[in-house]
Chains A and B, each alone.
Chain A
Amino acid sequence: MTRVRLHWRLLRLSVVILLGLLVAAALGLGERFAPRASLQRRQGLTRWFMVRLAAALPYRVRIIGELPPQPMLWVANHVSWCDIPLLGMLQPLSFLAKAEVASWPVLGWLARQAGTLFIRRGAGDAAQINQQLANHLHQGRHLLIFPEGTSTDGSSVRTFHPRLFACAIEAGCAVQPVAIRYLRDGKPDTVAPFVGDDELSAHLRRLLASDMAEVEIHLLPPIPVATLSRKAIAERAQLAVERALSCQSQEAARDAA
């Protein structure tokens, strides 16, 4: 049964990715004849794709809190590549990824077509990146970053790098902290984390072979940038995410009762 389920899920996911590629290709083709596809259109199509991708993952998703009505800089803890479709389905969002992603086969191209912004680790182009991110927010588009700079197993939160928060101050838009938590039978899920040297295809098979599990997406109260320094904002956001992750899932327990 498990094998049948794995293959069925793999097939479903492949169909979704194929659809995504077709849409992205059409978008690319359209661009040759029409002016550059607007960011809004890219984000809209990306959300369409993310909704289908998220639906193909073996997770039940619980949204806790309210989505921000205005465009904001979303900052989330990072556990797995699954974070991207699960968050990307909520709003038309753009992501910030490390530069290597752009050169990944297939996925890199999809990411570029989706309007992803890329950052080179350790490169001295901080000011330029900051300006690029701020421009994005200025256009009234949501932007999501993973300010830990890497993924974790979800049991703790690493330091949120203040540098990436400068764009919110520059654009004068609030920061939306998001805590994402994967749970299996009420305990931290060990299948979801995609860290370090994990290999994508092996991880995918492992994930799709497992039973359904839960994901909680905590949309925490937005932080107005006001007069705060980027360091203060980063600390506040990190603290909010840590608190949300450390508190026991009381809500879930009460709802189940």
Chain B
Amino acid sequence: MNAIVDPRSTRQLRAERLEGDAALREAQALRYRVFSTEFDAKLQGAEHGLDMDDFDVHCRHIGVRDLASGELVATTRLLDHLTARRLGRFYSEGEFALHGLADIDEPVLEIGRTCVTPAYRTGATIAVLWSELAEVLNEGRYRYLMGCASIPMRDGGIQARAIMQRLRDSHLCTELLHAEPRTPLPELDLPDNVTAQLPPLLKAYMRLGAKICGEPCWDPDFQVADVFILLKREELCPRYARHFKAAV
């Protein structure tokens, strides 16, 4: 368990593993609230106020709780390579053809459906969540962490395209894994001298030393572009990796 005091609000936040049905419901309810209000997304389980899918019961779920209110404020879910093999695929493979995945014979952990309540979108919340993630990585001796980060597409894709122009130069690496999107972004005309700000989660991954493994996949239901990211444990950027203390 990791606890931290958010200096901005003296909030007491604590990471925890969400185990058991009740905790899973709590995570699904949080995801529903965040995804349905922000993305206006069509969600499976919406009639119960939950965001659920077939992967949920096979994943490990971790979260961050505000100790004062007892409210769950952030969550993410983790799928490991052994489970993925049993299920036949990783979750991301629904959006990407992952060329080179079969040749990786070291432990891989996939992260997905990360969300944070708007009022808690601070570095502190992410740090607490990631310290717990670090422990999971460490315990399972995972060498790679992979997953997706989203860029909003409600603007028709300008931000996504502008961000990709920057990331392609600085963070693209397809040597180990090449993620080919099943639905590429729609065509859009934009000068190549334009860049845009990275959304917080994507920026956090890049600062940790993650690479992107190809072009984004268009998710029209969520109106986002999903970028596939891969983080190698030995390439964790030391300046930001203190959040991953146990894993380094």
* Chain A residues, CB < 8 A from B191: 51-52, 54-55, 61, 89
Smallest distance from the beta carbon of B157 to chain A beta carbons, Å?
10
**Contact of A61 with B152 at beta-carbon distance under 8 Å, contacts A48-B189, A51-B189, A67-B159 already known:** no
Are A51 and B190 interface neighbours, CB within 8 A? Answer: yes
What separation, in Å, do the CA atoms of A68 and B158 have in the docked complex?
A: 11
* CB within 8 Å of B: which A47-68 residues: 47-48, 51-52, 54-55, 57, 59-68
**Contact of A63 with B156 at beta-carbon distance under 8 Å, contacts A48-B189, A51-B189 already known:** no
For chain A, give the interface size range.
Answer: 20 to 34
* Chain B residues, CB < 8 A from A68: 155
For chain B, give the interface size range.
Answer: 10 to 19
* Chain A residues, CB < 8 A from B154: 66-67, 69
Smallest distance from the beta carbon of B183 to chain A beta carbons, Å?
20
Are B190 and A62 interface neighbours, CB within 8 A? Answer: no
Are B193 and A64 interface neighbours, CB within 8 A? Answer: no
* Chain A residues, CB < 8 A from B187: none
Interface string of B137-175 (1 = CB under 8 A from A): 000000000000000101110110010000000000000
Are A63 and B162 interface neighbours, CB within 8 A? Answer: yes
Among B152, B193, B194, the residue within 8 A (CB) of A66 is B152
Is B36 an interface residue when CB atoms closer than 8 A count as contact? no
Are B158 and A90 interface neighbours, CB within 8 A? Answer: yes
Are A61 and B193 interface neighbours, CB within 8 A? Answer: yes
Interface majority SS (helix, strand, loop, mixed), chain B:
loop
Is B195 an interface residue when CB atoms closer than 8 A count as contact? yes
Interface centre among B154, B192, B194, B196 (most CB of A within 10 A): B194
Among A62, A90, A91, the residue within 8 A (CB) of B195 is A62
* Chain B residues, CB < 8 A from A65: 197
Among B155, B189, B192, B196, the residue within 8 A (CB) of A64 is B196
* Chain A residues, CB < 8 A from B193: 54-55, 57, 59-61
Are A60 and B155 interface neighbours, CB within 8 A? Answer: no
* Chain B residues, CB < 8 A from A61: 191, 193-195
What separation, in Å, do the CA atoms of A52 and B194 have in the docked complex?
A: 12
Smallest distance from the beta carbon of B195 to chain A beta carbons, Å?
6
What separation, in Å, do the CA atoms of A91 and B189 have in the docked complex?
A: 11
* Chain B residues, CB < 8 A from A125: none
Are B159 and A63 interface neighbours, CB within 8 A? Answer: yes
Interface string of B177-200 (1 = CB under 8 A from A): 000000000000111111111000
Closest to B190 in A: A51
Is A198 an interface residue when CB atoms closer than 8 A count as contact? no
Is A199 an interface residue when CB atoms closer than 8 A count as contact? no
Smallest distance from the beta carbon of A59 to chain B beta carbons, Å?
6
Are A66 and B189 interface neighbours, CB within 8 A? Answer: no
What separation, in Å, do the CA atoms of A59 and B191 have in the docked complex?
A: 11
* Chain B residues, CB < 8 A from A48: 189
Is A185 an interface residue when CB atoms closer than 8 A count as contact? no
Interface residues of B (CB under 8 A from A): 152, 154-156, 158-159, 162, 189-197
Return 14 A-B CB contacts under 8 Å, by A number. A47-B189, A54-B191, A57-B193, A60-B195, A61-B194, A63-B158, A63-B159, A63-B194, A63-B196, A64-B196, A67-B155, A67-B158, A91-B156, A91-B158
Interface residues of A (CB under 8 A from B): 47-48, 51-52, 54-55, 57, 59-69, 89-91, 251
